[in-house]
Amino acid sequence: MLDREYIDTSVVLQSTKITSASKEDAKVAVKVVNRNANPVETIYLPAFEFNRAYKILSDELYHLRDAISAEEHYVVPFQHDPLMLLFDSTFHVGTAVLFPEYLIYNLETDDSERLCEVFPAAASGNQNMDAGKLDVVWEPLPGPEGATGPVLDIIDETDLLGKPWTYRCRIKQALQLPMICDLCYCEYEFFDGYGYNTFATETVDFSSRPTRSPVLEYEYEHHVECVTEEFLAWLKKPLEIKIFISLDVKRPDQLAGTDNQKVVDLIRADMKLPAQRVKTAQGADAALAEAMERIQSLQDKVEALMSENEKVKKANKRLVMQRRVALAVAMEAAKGSSPDTGMEAMKAEKAGKPPPKPSAREASAKKKGSSACVVS
């Protein structure tokens, strides 16, 4: 209902170990798949981690139902988006397996063996078993805390019994992990002959430049004061180094909220409410941009009309002046030909009336054929 239909979940059994798994090592985990990612992202969350995310999502769904019923605006924060809650957590992505039996003889890791194969934390039948590589080097030391001198040569494993054993473990880098991460660290168990201790690299942050090949640059000196049969037996077993990462989660194009039409339709259908169109924030922005564009267009038209009006006013003013000049010329001509009745004739013509009769002087002058002005 939160517009994340491309996220699939299922319950699986996950083993905490790769090489020596037993029923006691199996635990319930939740497989979460993001089909919208390229390539597809598959992670395995502990049950408690998934339950925490589920409770938060249930609360957000309640807030959305309440907002839709009250016709109010509400948007699920990005921190509570299903993508962030499920894929931004730190999880076990894979386990590197190495065989440390050569450490019995105080030998250094050969260059051809330093890249250990990483197996996925859990795998289905059709899943690629290649989850990358881990660059690990073991270097023998003459003793702890900067001791000097030659490293003891061991020909037979019994030569090491009762003697001290010191090695520096270097974990340089994970290579070509199946997913891009922004956090990474490694963890492994070391047996000192008396008990197991867990060691972990620092958690390195790659959020500024997410990568598939995080550089860890970890090193630690392991020292066993007195080698026992149990320690030799442990060195003959595979050593597992677990890799944990956090994914680089991208913000989706649209968050779940009351301005998301798909979310509203799904929730209203679940609540048995009729469908209702919503005006998304993107739609409102587009409508505002369209309105501003129309306003600008109208302003341009008004300015063009005002400019045209000014031209018309100027042309009209010229016509009025020309008419006045023509009228003045006509009046002068009328006075010259009909000094007594010329003005009355023009007024009558303007009013649409018949012209007045010419005066006696005008008639007499007309009979004489004179066109000159009669001066009294």
pLDDT digits (tens, 9 = 90+) for 55-73: 999 999 999 999 988 889 9
**How many residues comprise the chain?**
376
How high is the pLDDT of residue 311? Answer: 84
pLDDT for 47 beyond 60: yes
**Ranges 54-68, 217-231, 253-267: which has the least confidence:** 253-267
Q: Is 346 or 304 the better-scoring residue by pLDDT?
A: 304
Q: Token digits for 358?
A: 């010419």
How high is the pLDDT of residue 260? Answer: 87
Question: What whole-number percentage of the chain has pLDDT above 70?
Answer: 82
CB of 108 within 8 A of CB of 139?
Answer: yes
Peptide bond into 120 cis (omega under 30): no
pLDDT for 337 beyond 70: no
Assign residue 19 a region (left: φ > 0; alpha: ψ between -120 and 50; beta: otherwise).
alpha
How high is the pLDDT of residue 52? Answer: 94
**Ranges 136-140, 181-185, 294-298, 329-333: which has the least confidence:** 329-333
How far apart (Å, rounded) are the C-alpha atoms in residues 238 and 159? 22
What secondary structure does DSSP assign to 50-104, as a single string?
A: HHHHHHHHHHHHHHHHHHHHTT---B--GGGSHHHHHHSS-EEEEEEEE-GGGGG
Spell out the SS3 assignment of 268-326: HHHCCCCCCCCCCHHHHHHHHHHHHHHHHHHHHHHHHHHHHHHHHHHHHHHHHHHHHHH
Q: Is 62 or 24 the better-scoring residue by pLDDT?
A: 62
Listed residue (220, 207, 188, 36) closest to 118, CA to CA: 188
pLDDT confidence bin for 235, thresholds 50/70/90? very high
How far apart (Å, rounded) are the C-alpha atoms in residues 335 and 352? 20
**Ranges 19-28, 63-72, 256-265, 290-299: which has the least confidence:** 19-28
Phi then psi dihedrals of residue 22, to 5 deg: -140, 180
**Ranges 38-52, 103-117, 230-244: which has the least confidence:** 38-52
At 104, the amino acid letter reads: I
Residues in contact with 344: Cβ distance below 8 Å, sequence separation at least 6, in sequence order: 355, 356
pLDDT for 150 beyond 80: yes
Q: pTM to 2 decimals?
A: 0.67
CA atoms within 13 A on the CB side of 336: 8
Residues in contact with 308: Cβ distance below 8 Å, sequence separation at least 6, in sequence order: none
